[in-house]
Structure 1
Amino acid sequence: MTADRPRRPVVSARLRILLWLIVVMAVAMGSVALAVRAILIAEVENDSVQLLEQEAREFEQFASEGLDPDTGRKFDDPGRLLYTHLRRQHADDDELLLGVMADGRIIRQDREGPYDLQDDAAAMRRILAAPGPSGRTPSPAGEIRWAKIETAGARPATFVIAYFIERDFAEVDQMVRVMGGVSALALLGGAGIGWIVSGRILAPVRLVRRTAAEITEQDLARRIPVQQRDDVGELAATFNAMLDRLDRAFATQRRFVDDAGHELRTPITIVRGHLELMGDDPAEREETMRLVSDELDRMSRIVEDLLLLAKAERPDFVQLQWVPVTELTSDIYAKVRALGDREWVLDGIGEGEARVDPQRVTQAVVQLAHNAVQHTGPGDTVRVGSALDDERARFWVADSGPGVRPEDRERIFDRFAHGGAAGRRPRTGAGLGLAIVTAIAAGHGGTVRLGGEYGQGATFELDLPRAGRGKGQQP
């Protein structure tokens, strides 16, 4: 005996939707934060390059065009040039401007800079010894972006522009952290809203699940209210349609069992009683076997009729095809003439084609003719005919019998129902004939109508759509 497998924990659809929403939102917000950081870093890099280039251009322009305020002539002393230029510049908080003389003396602005670069001999040595006009170098205050320009003359000096970019990077990181905090709050808010919205959207699904769990074979009447015109609403509507089909199927099954039990109980009782009372007399035994055989035949007919009525609930009960009504009527007339010694009359014949099931139509009309034979006598008239127009196909059987009493006109189409006027012959059927005819008409999307006045005969007409819009069939 194998052990039962442990049940896997059930994760609700609502929770899965929320988790996917959180993951998608987190990935989207993280991607946005990374993209924003990359953009801001690129802007910081670009701004630092532009600042260095701008300071370099201003110094070059001042060196070539500027005049010494003391002499009114161009600068001939690099130290005087650097000193004058530095006094006129207003450096940013992260910017440091220095002048380095050939003898190593450093000229600086009279302000507190971001870092005492002039005291960092190693960093100054790297900047001055670098072959290019700009570059990067590390320092205790972070990375330095620098540019340098050498003055012309016998005693060249160097103008150094240093930009400490780490604080800009720190501001970018701080902004990204703020974005992360805001995104986290937005994520929590979005998760809460998603939980509420998903709950409202999935409410019909939960209702479907609970309804399915509560429905039993004895209780198929519950339905789900459809309030949304979307996929979830369609699910509820589809579920209701499924319940309708199940309800009809179980109702058909119960009705079949009830009808079979009700109608078969009598012949079974008759058969059992005659068999129990049967003696040894050959004539009595022969009579008993004849009665038993008749009852068994009747039971067989009842079962076949009940099975046919049960099959009428299936979509494939009728198989539609275009058939010539003239030929179908002629075939039906030839078959019904053998049912009894009556005055058979072909009352009319439709010309053209109709989309019907020829076997079911034949079965229905033959059943109507059989009823007419049961309620008439030899020599009475039974008329069979058909007619066809643009929309309808009609088949009828009319007899000259006693007709149907007004109080029975509706009831005779029910199962196991018999008319109050029995006609000229004792009742022999189970009362399923007209129910079968009604089922065949309904399978075609049509109806059965009863005409004629009581005492003047009866006319049963099968009225069907010519286009054959039958149940389970496409027009």
Structure 2
Amino acid sequence: MLGRPGWSRATRSIHTRILVSYIVLIVLSGGLCAVAIHEVLMIRLESRIAEAVQQEFLEIDRLVTDGRDPRTGAAFTSVAAVFDVYFRRNVPSQEEAILAFADGRLQHASMGRFPVDRVPDSAMQVFATSARTYTVTDGRPPLDRFDTSRGSAYYGILPLRVGASTGAFVVTILPVAQRREIADLQRYAVGAVLGVVVLASACAWLVTGRVLGPVRQLTETARLISKSDLTRRIPVARQDEAAEMARTFNAMLDRLEAVFRREREFLLDAGHELRGPITISLGNLGLLQQQLPDDDEARGTIAVVTDELERMARIVGDLHILADVPHPHFLQPERIDLELFVAELAVKLSALAPRQWLVDELGEGLLVADRHRLTEAVINLADNAVRHTADTDTVSIGAAVRGEDVHIWVRDTGCGIEYDDQPYIFDRFRRGARAHLRYPGTGLGLAIVRAVAQAHGGRVDLSSRPGVGSTFTLVIPRQGREGELGQDTDR
């Protein structure tokens, strides 16, 4: 069962499809050639049989045309006399039988070299009556067949007349040996086709592998890019269409890397430049608040400004995190004991706000992941749950190993999320339609959660019903992407 996805993917690959098409073409070509060769050989066989039959007909026809017995010089007076002379002077060839019928009766039968002992009665009846029913056109009698225990036999009938007597001269050939040779040739041809298929398949596999090499490199590079590495490039060592495709792709990567680098540098520079003024402003506001007299209005204004500056500081921090996501060293994976990790998270989360904090399941086993980033993501989920719940609501955390993934979830019994907001809840600076009425925020917390999950090669699942509550689930591969830190984690 585990091998099916990989096998299905292999059968759908271009490499496999080209190879299969090539093999099918070779098999069809070989099959058509074998059929064509068989037909040609059978036509040539029938042609040789017809020539052999015609040769016998010419010999007896010369006797009838000459009209005299070569030994006595006397004229032939009957068909039977012609047959007597012929059978004394001629012996059938291999796999050939000669029969002579005079006035409807069998007079001579030379079957010593014929592959079967007797001719079927139905054929003998046809031969006996053939002197009256057969006609010769263009001096060449037609070939017919009759069935025997060793295959079909070919025969030709030459009607004869000498004086008042009539007869039929029959030559029949059963080409057992020649058919065996054709069958052997067919078997050799099938073996040759199979050998050609195997050899050509191996050559086609190597050739298509070399041709599709740049495509595989492009695919691998694209896969690595999807894992936040824009430094990879496809090596170009040839001058063909594939090399031109690789160069075009590399140029596109250069442009993308430049854009992402400028975006990250801008976010980092902006955050760095903003942190100083924000810190100075917060410090001066604190000093000003201490020096002011008991002026409630002024203190209220200072509190509002301080709150906004602190919110701005959180935005700057969140932007720093999002800017670091594409960096190859964003994650620092390590082996994490899942049960201990969830227990530590439960202690940390319970300090966020007074709620009914529960642990659904601790989970068991090891997880390869970045402990700090996962903690940050789960705290963001818990903070989001706190904002959507009251003091009497329940917020729970849990984890479980399911197949090759680890599921870590935060569940609450709060107000839930409107169905219209759910498709966009993880977008940057996107908040629910009524979120601004319930709590202040930047709209970056869930975007960070999704970025952390994707950086681990996972995802975030949401299940929520308005008025019932929400469940956010981090789905993370147990081994990390590309099996980080090796493949030796135990269940």
TM-score, normalized by length of structure 2? 0.50
Q: CA deviation at 1:105?
A: 4.8
Q: CA deviation at 1:187?
A: 1.0
CA distance in structure 2 between the aligned counterparts of 1:99 and 1:217, rounded to whole angstroms? 92
Counterparts in 2 of 1:135 and 1:28: CA distance versus 1, 3 Å: closer
Q: Which residue of 1 aligns with 2:151?
A: 142
Counterparts in 2 of 1:100 and 1:17: CA distance versus 1, 3 Å: same
Secondary structure of 1:157's counterpart equals: strand
CA distance in structure 1 between the aligned counterparts of 2:116 and 2:273, rounded to whole angstroms? 114
CA distance in structure 2 between the aligned counterparts of 1:210 and 1:65, rounded to whole angstroms? 90
Contact 1:207 1:224 in 2 (8 A): yes
Secondary structure of 1:148's counterpart equals: strand
Superposed CA RMSD in Å reads: 4.1
Secondary structure of 2:5's counterpart equals: coil
Counterparts in 2 of 1:36 and 1:105: CA distance versus 1, 3 Å: closer
Identity %: 31
Secondary structure of 2:187's counterpart equals: helix
CA distance in structure 1 between the aligned counterparts of 2:116 and 2:268, rounded to whole angstroms? 106
Counterparts in 2 of 1:230 and 1:132: CA distance versus 1, 3 Å: farther
Counterparts in 2 of 1:66 and 1:95: CA distance versus 1, 3 Å: farther
1:209 to 214, 219, 233: 219
Q: CA deviation at 1:159?
A: 1.4
Contact 1:126 1:137 in 2 (8 A): no
Contact 2:78 2:164 in 1 (8 A): no
CA distance in structure 2 between the aligned counterparts of 1:182 and 1:21, rounded to whole angstroms? 17
Secondary structure of 2:77's counterpart equals: coil
Counterparts in 2 of 1:6 and 1:217: CA distance versus 1, 3 Å: closer
Secondary structure of 2:148's counterpart equals: coil
CA distance in structure 1 between the aligned counterparts of 2:251 and 2:97, rounded to whole angstroms? 81
Q: CA deviation at 1:270?
A: 4.2
Q: 1:335-354 CA distances to partner (integer Å, 9 max, x unpaired)?
A: xxxxxxxxxxxxxxxxxxxx
Q: CA deviation at 1:231?
A: 4.1
Counterparts in 2 of 1:229 and 1:220: CA distance versus 1, 3 Å: same
Secondary structure of 1:59's counterpart equals: helix
Q: 1:417-450 CA distances to partner (integer Å, 9 max, x unpaired)?
A: xxxxxxxxxxxxxxxxxxxxxxxxxxxxxxxxxx
Q: Which residue of 2 aligns with 1:151?
A: 160
For the pair 1:182 / 2:192, whether they are aligned, the reply is yes
TM-score, normalized by length of structure 1? 0.51
Q: Which residue of 2 aligns with 1:113?
A: 113
Q: Which residue of 1 aligns with 2:232?
A: 222
Q: Which residue of 2 aligns with 1:404?
A: none
Contact 1:204 1:232 in 2 (8 A): yes
Q: Which residue of 2 aligns with 1:28?
A: 29
For the pair 1:124 / 2:124, whether they are aligned, the reply is yes
Q: Which residue of 2 aligns with 1:200?
A: 210
Amino acid at match of 1:24: L
CA distance in structure 2 between the aligned counterparts of 1:204 and 1:238, rounded to whole angstroms? 12
CA distance in structure 1 between the aligned counterparts of 2:3 and 2:146, rounded to whole angstroms? 64
Q: 1:286-314 CA distances to partner (integer Å, 9 max, x unpaired)?
A: xx99xx9xxx9xx9xxx9xxxxxxxxxxx
Contact 1:143 1:166 in 2 (8 A): no
Counterparts in 2 of 1:74 and 1:202: CA distance versus 1, 3 Å: same
Contact 1:106 1:118 in 2 (8 A): no
Amino acid at match of 1:255: E
Task: Map 1:5-404 to 2 at 5 A.
Answer: 8-10=5-7, 11-12=9-10, 13=13, 14-65=15-66, 67-89=68-90, 91-102=92-103, 104-109=105-110, 112-115=112-115, 121-130=121-130, 131-132=133-134, 135-152=144-161, 153-215=163-225, 219-278=229-288, 280=292
Counterparts in 2 of 1:27 and 1:277: CA distance versus 1, 3 Å: same
Amino acid at match of 1:156: T
Amino acid at match of 2:64: A
Q: 1:213-269 CA distances to partner (integer Å, 9 max, x unpaired)?
A: 444666422212112334433443343233223311220111111221233334334
Amino acid at match of 1:128: A
Counterparts in 2 of 1:15 and 1:105: CA distance versus 1, 3 Å: closer
Counterparts in 2 of 1:280 and 1:25: CA distance versus 1, 3 Å: same
Amino acid at match of 2:123: A
CA distance in structure 2 between the aligned counterparts of 1:7 and 1:151, rounded to whole angstroms? 76
Structure 1 stretch 246-255 or stretch 203-212: which is displaced more?
203-212
Q: What 5-or-longer segments of structure 2 have no aligned partner?
A: 136-142, 317-491
Q: CA deviation at 1:123?
A: 3.4
Task: Map 1:449-460 to 2 at 5 A.
Answer: none
CA distance in structure 1 between the aligned counterparts of 2:4 and 2:113, rounded to whole angstroms? 69
Larger Rg: 1
Question: How many positions carry a matched residue from both structures?
Answer: 290
Contact 1:66 1:75 in 2 (8 A): yes
Amino acid at match of 1:211: T
Q: What 5-or-longer segments of structure 1 have no aligned partner?
A: 304-475
Q: CA deviation at 1:40?
A: 2.3
Counterparts in 2 of 1:141 and 1:277: CA distance versus 1, 3 Å: closer
Contact 1:94 1:114 in 2 (8 A): yes
Counterparts in 2 of 1:178 and 1:252: CA distance versus 1, 3 Å: same
Contact 2:94 2:114 in 1 (8 A): yes
CA distance in structure 2 between the aligned counterparts of 1:98 and 1:274, rounded to whole angstroms? 132
